[in-house]
A and B are shown apart, each in its own frame.
Chain A
């Protein structure tokens, strides 16, 4: 089996494994990881396409895979921030609010950091679009 097929098929397998795990709905964190496995599969498939260029590797799939990594990173960061916010609210009991990094009546300080992170991820993505 040649290199292209190995990588491409691995990509397909990773994508399907991730998808299967997401559809089983095992909980937020596992779903986020599963989505990342899916993403790795997709991007691996992309990178494997570079091989089929006549003179040297085709740079386009690499550029696209890089952009895809940035997008997935931003989305994962946003997902983790949301998951943490949800976890904290559940821990606090009921119906509280996360405002600017503080849980009302709570002691935690971390959410502002997370929120900042997820937004800078979005900016990065905007840059990638230009």
Chain B
């Protein structure tokens, strides 16, 4: 069992290095696809073990205290599984789209994609399984550096510029995070999350460490108002890359915030912190949704939607602080089930949206909404994927999004502040901007416009992702907690 957990990290890492040195594009692709398929197995094993027996601890390498401890609870195991599922289907899409010469982006199949994607998945898994603040920092750096590389793949001015802004913003964020880590180490001489959770008391030092780390995470996760780099980065990247970034990478930041706040700082948290975060989330939801509604490009619209949905995820924090608390090291970080359910359904649905957007763009040759006319008729499968994913984001039953909204309303019902109104308002705004996108797809094609044929291999992966997102509602993951 311990082997399965270590696999989650070293397998993609080894495959990333191997695919970097493998010369031929075809060998790289085969290696990347094979690794993405194989990854599903340890992810499922770990998830099953956690679901059956509760949180798992593993010691990797040497015996204690030298070995590295990895820990999987439901929060981490579910996100590891999300990474494996979304990763596999995006890899399937990428293997079709990146080798297809007439597609809009690729002059050459960008070989960098495979190494970087594998590095990204190693980093994400390491992030979800680490129990040590410094390891978390290193894993987060792996994630963001490979994400930046992925954004810059097309090599155009827009993507390199977006990658550079992303890099600078994220560097400042990670140094702020690291400074907070240093403060904690200086005060308590340990970096182990749960140990810190027991030791830390509220006070100027704990608050400044928490402030620095939170700021750093907010930049990295693109929480409003520090999301400024996200729309360009997610909007200009290749569709497959945008799907990885919006589906998986931002979840890493959300996860880290939850982990750090509830595992390292449980005795430091005040309700007012949650309230402040909730208010930021509220403004962010409204602001980003309005931007999405007025956006003229499909992928940027979806990128703004990610910012808005991140705001909704963030609402889980005030709810969890106000709600009944669990002890340190409880079976799941207490009270964050709504956020987790939303992270899972949004991860699947947003990846599906970006991939079907990729198929639309492939057909129309542009991602301007005004150019998308006729794609609904031409690409029924991709359109179905888009519609199903939209169904999930709107939280209509049955779907993963509905499950998440139900959990939100349950949690908000006991608290003093009616956060469920924000969730409902957010849903209304979601309907607005997704409606804008769907209407553009249903417009009749312009008279002289010829849409390019789109292979089925570009339409099936988004459809499967969207089906999974809807299927989440049928097997409620969060409530299966032991």
Chain A residues near B (Cβ < 8 Å): 8, 15, 19, 22, 28, 31-32, 35, 38-39, 41-42, 45-46, 49, 52, 58, 60-61, 64, 67-68, 71-72, 74-75, 78-79, 82-83, 85-86, 89-90, 94-100, 104, 115, 118-119, 121-123, 125-126, 128-130
Using known A-B contacts A49-B185, A86-B164, determine if residue A95 contacts B171 with beta carbons closer than 8 Å. no
Whether A79 contacts B13 in the complex (CB less than 8 A), given A97-B154, A126-B142, comes out as: no
* Chain A residue with Cβ nearest B14: A126
Q: How far is the CB of B195 from chain A (nearest CB, A)?
A: 14
Q: For residue A90, which residues in chain B have a CB less than 8 angstroms away from its CB? A: 157
CB within 8 Å for A67 and B171 given contacts A89-B160, A90-B157, A125-B145: no
Q: Determine the distance from Cα of A96 to Cα of B158 in the docked complex, in whole angstroms.
A: 10
**Chain B: how many interface residues by the 8 Å CB criterion?**
47
For B189, list chain A residues within 8 Å (CB). Answer: 58
Contact B186 A52 (CB under 8 A): yes
Is B207 positioned at the interface, with any CB of A under 8 Å from its CB?
no
Most B Cβ at <10 Å: residue of A19, A75, A118: A75
Q: Which of B20, B126, B139 contacts A123 (CB 8 A)?
A: B20
The chain B residue sitting closest to A85, CB to CB, is: B160
Which residues of B from 161 to 192 have beta carbons under 8 Å from A?
161, 163-164, 167-168, 171-172, 174-175, 178-179, 182, 185-186, 189
Contacts of B16 in A (CB 8 A): 123, 126
Whole-angstrom distance between the Cβ of B369 and the nearest chain A Cβ? 21
Asked if residues A71 and B138 are in contact (CB atoms below 8 Å), the reply is yes
Interface residues of B in 1-40 (CB under 8 A from A): 9-10, 13, 16-17, 20
Tell me the bound Cα distance from A57 to B120 in angstroms. 35
With A35-B168, A75-B141, A82-B167 as given contacts, are A45 and B182 in contact (CB-CB < 8 Å)? Answer: yes
Q: Are B107 and A39 in contact (CB-based, < 8 A)?
A: no
New contact pairs (8) apart from A28-B164, A126-B142, CB-CB < 8 Å? A42-B178, A49-B186, A75-B167, A94-B157, A99-B108, A100-B108, A119-B112, A126-B122
Q: How far apart are the CA atoms of A74 and B168 in the complex, in Å?
A: 13
A28: chain B residues within 8 A (beta carbon): 164, 168
| Distance, CA A126 to CA B126, complexed state (A) | 10
Q: Which residues of B contact A31 (CB under 8 A)?
A: 168
Whether B161 and A86, one on each chain, are in contact in the complex, defined by CB atoms closer than 8 angstroms, is: yes
Alpha-carbon distance between A95 and B148 when the two chains are bound, in angstroms: 20
Question: Are A129 and B155 in contact (CB-based, < 8 A)?
Answer: no
A118 to B148, CA, bound (A): 11
Residues of B within 8 A of A42 (CB): 175, 178-179, 182
Interface CB pairs A-B, < 8 A, 9 = A15-B175, A15-B179, A22-B168, A38-B172, A72-B171, A75-B141, A86-B161, A128-B138, A129-B138
* Chain B residues, Cβ within 8 Å of A78: 145, 148-149, 167
Q: Tell me if B424 counts as interface (CB < 8 A to partner A).
A: no
**Given known contacts A46-B182, A119-B115, A98 and B160 CB-to-CB distance under 8 angstroms:** yes
List A contacts of B139 (CB < 8 A). 129
Known: A49-B186, A68-B178, A82-B163. A122 touches B149 (CB 8 A): yes
In the bound complex, residues from chain B placing their C-beta under 8 Å from that of A97 are 107, 154-156
By Cβ-Cβ distance, the 4 closest A-B pairs, closest first, are A98-B155, A49-B186, A97-B155, A82-B164
Contacts of B20 in A (CB 8 A): 119, 123
Contact present for B164 and A45 (CB under 8 Å): no
A129-B125 Cα distance, complex, nearest whole Å:
12
- A83 with B179: in contact, given A64-B134, A95-B156, A123-B17 (CB under 8 Å)? no
**Given the complex, which residues of A lie within 8 Å of B152, measured CB to CB?**
82, 85
Find out whether the CB atom of A67 lies under 8 angstroms from the CB atom of B156.
Answer: no
Which residues of A have CB within 8 Å of B174?
71
Bound complex: CA A74 to CA B10 (Å): 20
Q: Which of A89, A100, A128 is within 8 Å of B157, CB to CB?
A: A89
Per the bound structure, the CA–CA distance linking A112 and B54 in Å amounts to 48
Q: A123-B20, A129-B139 are in contact. Are A75 and B179 (CB under 8 A)?
A: no
**Closest chain A residue to B169 by CB distance?**
A22
Contact of A19 among B142, B167, B172 (CB under 8 A): B172
Q: Does B292 contact A (CB under 8 A)?
A: no
Known: A79-B168, A98-B155. A67 touches B134 (CB 8 A): yes
Q: Of all chain B residues, which has the CB nearest A46?
A: B182
Q: Within 8 Å CB of B108, what residues of A?
A: 99-100
Is B135 interfacial (CB-CB < 8 Å)? yes
How far, in whole Å, are A128 and B107 apart by their CA atoms in the complex? Answer: 35
Confirm or deny: B285 has a beta carbon within 8 angstroms of a beta carbon on chain A: no
Q: How far is the CB of B169 from chain A (nearest CB, A)?
A: 9
B138 to chain A, nearest CB (A): 5
Cβ contacts under 8 Å, A126 to chain B:
13, 16-17, 119, 122-123, 142
- CB B75 to nearest CB in A, in angstroms, measures 21
Report B-chain residues with C-beta under 8 Å of the C-beta of A35.
168, 171-172, 175
Shortest CB-to-CB span from B315 to chain A, Å, is 29
Which residues of B are found within 8 Å of A121, using beta-carbon distances?
145
Residue among A61, A79, A128 having the largest count of chain B Cβ atoms under 10 Å: A79
B246 contacts A by Cβ under 8 Å: no
Nearest A residue to B17 via CB reads A123
